[in-house]
Amino acid sequence: MNKLYLLIPVLCFTFFISGCSSGLDTPDTIVSPPVTTPVSDTDALTTVNVKTYMVDASATAETVALFYNLKKLAKTKFAIGQQDAFNAFYNNGSSSLSDIKKTTGNDPALLGSDFMFITDKNNTGQNDNWFYQQEKKITDDAKQAYAKGMINVFCWHLREPIKEESFYANDMSAAEKATAFKSILPGGSKHDWYKLKLDKIASVISNLKGSNGELIPIIFRPFHEFDGNWFWWGADYCSPEDYKTGFQFTVNYLKNSKGLHNVLYAFSPDNTYLTSTNYLSRYPGDAFVDVLGMDNYGDFNNQGQAGSDRANTKLKMVSDLAKSKVKIAALTETGYQVTTTNTPISGWFSNYLYNALTANNVEISFVMFWNNTRDGYYVPTPSVPNAPDFTSFTSKPKSVLVNILPKMYVLPN
């Protein structure tokens, strides 16, 4: 095993412990012309016209149903999920049960996964290869989640195209940061490299099938948290037009060139955007987005009620945009990691988070917690002090785990 092979798992392990975003509540600095977006009645969505609001007019029946049911769910409830729920555990690496099920008795309603290891340059496709083993584990988990009636959501921590060693901008030179994203766009020096990565994703998605051979729908979040500066696709390293081009190409390539019709596409910045004008400054367009998301750790990082209210204001903005555009709204990542140095916050789940997700007529379809590890957790296990707080959160009227999740893959009559 060479030195580089060893380096990559270390980088990934550090990432998964620390969470996805920087955790900072950074100021709103991106400016674009004003956008006025009236809020419409989401009852405009029907089982007959649902495809007209989706990215893919040729979406499979199950994917159409997922869009419709998620959109309707938000009117009364929100689904609760966790990244790597079946394979990332707090202080218990041998269990086959999700930590959410250990604590509440039920699995989450969503499973978060990542294409990171699947598209890694060291993935040989051989059974004895560690990265391929992760690919098998991830795809098996996605199939298991679907069989349980859960929803699959994939992010992608794509390593930079120069050395393929990291997705963090801080690990790159100034010249690499300035050219990396542009290089993967059509006409760029790494465009063919990027298409090969998408080919791998397409191969995996097209082989995710249920027990009857049907394609399993997924929600895909390419280039997430792009308003920050921690990833090489961040706002400091590509223009709004370049970002839109990259997002649009990704969708068109998977949908049209590769013929994938079991994907919903999510637009998910971090929490810096305070207005719809700025939120839409890098928006690729309604024809390329099914889910309007937001990742937010910073407002929940021991910020009390003030942080909860800030998060709610931002989610209200996203929710209103989703209503007007007839799209799905979601808190695509969040959490507060408890470790030996970060103690639990009283009422974090049942008070602060629940308030952010429900106050002011917010309509959010789902919330995704980041993954647990041996040394820290975002979702409590039964023996930790804030387990009752989490149980209370999942028992509230608008909270949904898999046990009360509606049938998401069948359109209602």
Closest among 396, 371, 391 to 85, alpha carbons compared: 371
Question: Any bridge partners for residue 330, and if so which?
Answer: 293, 366
Known catalytic membership, residue 225: yes
CA distance 66 to 216: 10
Question: 62, 135, 160, 333: which is the annotated catalytic residue?
Answer: 333
Integer Cα distance of 100 and 119 in angstroms: 28
Q: Which contiguous run of DSSP H or E holds residue 184?
A: helix 174-184
Q: What is the DSSP letter of 347?
A: T
Please give the Cα distance from 73 to 37 (Å, whole number). Answer: 22
Rounded CA separation 119/349 (Å): 34
| Nearest residue to 92 via CA among 342, 313, 332, 380 | 380
333 is catalytic: yes
List the catalytic residue out of 165, 225, 241, 363.
Answer: 225
Number of neighbours of residue 41 by Cβ within 10 angstroms: 9
Q: Which of 273, 333, 344, 338 is nearest to 297 (CA)?
A: 333
Contact 364, 74 (CB under 8 A): yes
CA separation for the pair 131, 44 (Å, rounded): 45
Find where tokens 């049907």 sit.
214
Taking the C-alpha atoms of residue 118 and residue 209, their distance in angstroms, rounded to an integer, is: 17
Q: Residue 266 in contact with residue 330, Cβ under 8 Å?
A: yes
- How far, in Å, CA of 341 to CA of 346, rounded? 16
Q: Which residues in 322-345 are b (16+ Cβ under 10 Å) and which e?
A: bbbbbbbbbbbbbbbbbeeeeebb
Residue 255: strand, helix, or coil? helix
CA contacts within 13 A on the Cβ side of 123: 18
Strands 218-221 and 151-155: parallel
Handedness of CA 336, 339, 343, 344 (dihedral sign): positive
The catalytic site residues sit at 225, 333
